[in-house]
Amino acid sequence: MSTLPGYRRTAEGVDPPYDHGAYTSTHKRAPRHSPIRIAHTLSEITGPRLGAELVSATDADLTHFAGGEALGERIVVTGRVLDEDERPVSNALVEIWQANSAGRYAHDVDQHDAPLDPHFSGVGRVATGADGVYRFATIKPAAYPWKNHFNAWRPQHIHFSLFGPGFATRLITQMYFPGDPLLKIDPIYLSVPDPAARERLVCAFDIEATVPERALGYRFDIVLRGRGATPLERDLGGDAR
Amino acid sequence: MTRGVTPSQTIGPFFHRALLHEGWNDLAARGAAGERVAIEGRVLDGDGAPVTDAMIEVWQANVAGRYDRPEDLQENKPLDPNFHGFGRTATGPDGSFRLRTVKPGPVPGSGDAPQAPHINVSIFARGLLKRLVTRIYFPAEPLNETDPLLTALPTDRRATLIARVADAGAAERVLHFEIVLQGDNETVFLDV
């Protein structure tokens, strides 16, 4: 029996540590023991595959909701979901959520004193095409205060949730906007140790993605872990392909 | 040319409307084959306080021990058209969660060693800059004694991965699985 190899280990400095002192919520939630590294088995190589069957035509357009137009600056966000070898991740579900143009989430827990927009849900989903491309239209989210420390503000961001091919490639992340002055002081953005990796969380303005008379375009590619270069050692006890 | 991997960031506290969907906490709803099991649990922080804003995802093999993916090449085991193996839920105000599924069959691990039946778990929450990964194993399972992961763990930590029988009298089996993020009895987490 043969099987696909596992996934590559992410380079040091790309993913944040669990214990990141500047982000207060990590203090009681970060494990004290280091997670135990395990070799990839079928449990990690395989993973849920959710795609276009979950997405309806309107899910990729957040600019109107409940019979009206959302307030704020319309934008288009587009890019490709790829692996490290630039292989597209096709027909894959991308789930997004964000604050509105006043910096408020349509969520019971968000008590920030900024107006809700009855015509903005802040929730969307799309599936990638065969080439790994996704695209959605939304409203540019605003910065908002949070209680991490005195005068703490989150930079403008959109949350992304993605499934790659395996359980090991699952990713939840946040996309930021170029030139945001809050990036220099945001504990969550700065939790990524490697500055080059951190910059991969910032989208780029793209005139090609910009819709004339309608919306500025931003490009954001998402790169998931690639397949290991060598088959797993004696995986499944057989001659690996 | 290779590209650098996109870093992980926290799910934050505001994910519910985007990510939770009706029925995603019941993997067995569509007539899957196998023994029904409810898994109830809590997520606790380093003070023992409930984590009220965690998202829990599970991924598992079917009753025959086969994953519903083409990468699983065990053609000697049947797929179940009514079971896909993925579930998602969130903790409530008391830190509790509940999933319903079927008990998976054993799947092979590295080498020839069979792995004991298990459910793969991801935990996302505010304050977790990347997900935590763990596994739920089943109590009184003979294969636990030879499972490559369980047997590699120190005895005192191994028990954190094995669910407890919560309600022996229930019509469907109910198991309890506590996820302790930090401190005494900290759950074993995995770097996958």
Phi, psi torsion values for A225, nearest 5 degrees: -60, 140
Pick A37's closest partner by Cβ from B7, B183, B191.
B191
Q: pLDDT band at A237, cuts 50/70/90? A: very low
- pLDDT for the residue numbered A111: 93
Output the CA torsion A10→A12→A18→A20 (10° steps). Answer: -140
B177 has pLDDT over 80: yes
- pLDDT for the residue numbered B112: 67
User: How close A81 gets to chain B, by Cα (Å)?
Assistant: 10
B72 has pLDDT over 60: yes
A136-162 pLDDT tens trace: 999 999 999 999 999 999 999 999 999
Q: Which residues pair with A93 in a beta bridge?
A: A127
Q: In terms of Cα–Cα distance, which of B175, B23, B71, B55 is closest to B121?
A: B55
Q: What is the mean pLDDT of residues A158-175?
A: 97
- pLDDT for the residue numbered A4: 64
Q: Confirm if A16 and A237 have CB atoms less than 8 A apart.
A: no
Q: Are strands A216-219 and A74-83 parallel, antiparallel or unpaired?
A: parallel
Cα separation, A94 vs A170, in Å, equals 11
Interface contact flag, A42 B108, Cβ < 8 Å: yes
Point out the catalytic residue in the list A8, A119, A159, A219: A159
- pLDDT for the residue numbered A52: 87
Residue-range domain boundaries for chain B: 16-180
Q: Is the ipTM of this complex over 0.85?
A: yes
Q: Confirm if A163 and A93 have CB atoms less than 8 A apart.
A: yes
% of chain A at pLDDT higher than 90: 90
CB contact, 8 Å: A196 with chain B?
Answer: yes
Mean pLDDT rounded to a whole number for chain B = 96
Domains, in order of start, for chain A: 40-237 (2.60.130.10)
A233 has pLDDT over 80: no
Tokens of A208: 């090609």
Q: Confirm if A231 and A241 have CB atoms less than 8 A apart.
A: yes
B149-176 pLDDT tens trace: 999 999 999 999 999 999 778 889 999 9
A192 has pLDDT over 50: yes
Q: Is A157 a catalytic residue?
A: yes
Write out chain B in H/E/C secondary structure: CCCCCCCCCCCCCCCHHHHCCCCCCECCCCCCCCCEEEEEEEEECCCCCECCCEEEEEECCCCCCCCCCCCCCCCCCCCCCCCCCEEEEECCCCCEEEEEEECCCCCECECCCECCCEEEEEEEECCCCCCEEEEEECCCCHHHHHCHHHHHCCHHHHHHHECEEEECCCCCEEEEEEEECCCCCCCCCEEC
Cα separation, A88 vs A85, in Å, equals 9
Q: pLDDT band at B129, cuts 50/70/90? A: very high
Largest Cα separation within chain A, whole Å, is 62
Tokens of A75: 């934008």
**Rounded to whole angstroms, what are the CA distances from A97 to B14, B16, B17, B96?**
8, 9, 8, 24
**Rounded to whole angstroms, what are the CA distances from A129 to A133, A138, A224?**
5, 19, 16
A230 has pLDDT over 60: no
Q: What is the mean pLDDT of residues A106-125?
A: 96
Cα separation, A72 vs A174, in Å, equals 20
B3-57 pLDDT tens trace: 999 999 999 999 999 999 999 999 999 999 999 999 999 999 999 999 999 999 9
**What are the chain B neighbours of A158 within 8 Å (beta carbons)?**
none
A234 has pLDDT over 70: no
- pLDDT for the residue numbered B113: 82
Pick B181's closest partner by Cβ from A31, A47, A192.
A31
**What are the chain B neighbours of A21 within 8 Å (beta carbons)?**
none
* Chain B from 47 to 86: CB within 8 A of any A CB: 47, 49, 51, 53, 57, 59, 61, 67-69, 71-74, 84-86
Point out the catalytic residue in the list A40, A80, A125, A157: A157
Cα separation, B100 vs B90, in Å, equals 13
DSSP A155: P
A33 has pLDDT over 80: yes
**Terminal Cα-to-Cα distance of chain A (whole angstroms):** 9
Q: In terms of Cα–Cα distance, which of A228, A236, A218, A238 is closest to A9?
A: A228
CB contact, 8 Å: A241 with chain B?
Answer: no
Q: Confirm if B37 and B172 have CB atoms less than 8 A apart.
A: yes
- The domain defined by B16-180 folds into Protocatechuate 3,4-Dioxygenase, subunit A (2.60.130)
Q: pLDDT band at A5, cuts 50/70/90? A: confident
A214 has pLDDT over 50: yes
**Rounded to whole angstroms, what are the CA distances from A178 to A22, A44, A103, B9?**
23, 35, 17, 17
The secondary element (H helix, E strand) that includes residue A74 is strand A74-83
Residues 6+ apart with CB under 8 A from A231: A2, A3, A4, A5, A240, A241
Interface contact flag, A97 B186, Cβ < 8 Å: no
Single-letter code of the amino acid located at A215? A
A241 has pLDDT over 80: no
CB contact, 8 Å: B133 with chain A?
Answer: yes
CB contact, 8 Å: A198 with chain B?
Answer: yes
- pLDDT for the residue numbered B170: 80
**What are the chain B neighbours of A123 within 8 Å (beta carbons)?**
17-18
Q: What is the mean pLDDT of residues A24-40?
A: 97
Residues in chain A: 241
Q: In terms of Cα–Cα distance, which of A104, A175, A154, A95 is closest to B8?
A: A175
Q: What is the mean pLDDT of residues A17-44?
A: 97
Single-letter code of the amino acid located at B140? A
Interface contact flag, B191 A38, Cβ < 8 Å: yes
- pLDDT for the residue numbered B171: 86
Q: What is the mean pLDDT of residues A110-129?
A: 97
B141 has pLDDT over 50: yes
Cα separation, A66 vs A132, in Å, equals 30
